Amino acid sequence: MPEGLPDVVPSDGLTTRQRRNRPLLIIHTGDGKGKSTAAFGLALRGWNQGWSVGVFQFVKSAKWRIGEQTALETLAELHTSTGVGGPIEWHKMGAGWSWSRKAGSEDDHAAAAADGWQEIKRRLAAQTHGLYVLDEFTYPINWGWVDIDDVVQTLANRTGQQHVIITGRRADPKLLEIANLVTEMTKIKHPFDEGQKGQRGIEW
């Protein structure tokens, strides 16, 4: 792909501009480190373009705060006060999604995941965000908490200019089939292999 030119130009009747601006479904999967980190990097780009960004963290505890959350929420405050960039919302599953304020427990994570997906569906229908980061969303799908066929149908038929990024290991083949961009993070070496625990600025 020299000089940014695609290797193939399909005969789909679209102009170069129309094809360039199609919304993307992006999957970051694999056993290697960096899936969420790369997704949050795209969220920074979206903010810079003035897009509305919605981050939905599945699986992670609501008590667990990562560095990207603080950074993006700071940018959201900057947008609110100055108009620079775009609005950002950050929601975590665990002790209840921020829109429901319900106390969560180990027993109702499946229900919380389903509730999160239903909220995302409502936002997609309303075209609320230009970019959705569904962090670790492959896990509730693989555990049967969220119906894969419903996810595929919803994402494949979403309207407007809405980009969606899904992260997590073992992405379902049905997701990979409808995705426009799939990256598999492959672990070659990791400090964990040498008994080194996660550290500030690298893992959070």
Q: Which domains does the chain have, with CATH numbers?
A: 27-184 (3.40.50.300)
C-alpha–C-alpha distance, residues 135 and 60, integer Å: 9
Asked if residue 182 has pLDDT above 50, the reply is: yes
Q: How confident is the model at residue 4 (pLDDT cuts 50, 70, 90)?
A: low
Q: How confident is the model at residue 183 (pLDDT cuts 50, 70, 90)?
A: very high
Asked if residue 11 has pLDDT above 80, the reply is: no
Q: How confident is the model at residue 196 (pLDDT cuts 50, 70, 90)?
A: confident
Asked if residue 125 has pLDDT above 60, the reply is: yes
Asked if residue 107 has pLDDT above 90, the reply is: no
Helix (H) or strand (E) holding 155: helix 148-156
Spatial CB neighbours of 140, under 8 Å, sequence gap ≥ 6: 58, 59, 110, 113, 114, 117, 146
Please list the residues that pair with 162 across neighbouring strands.
none
For the entire predicted model, the pTM comes to 0.87
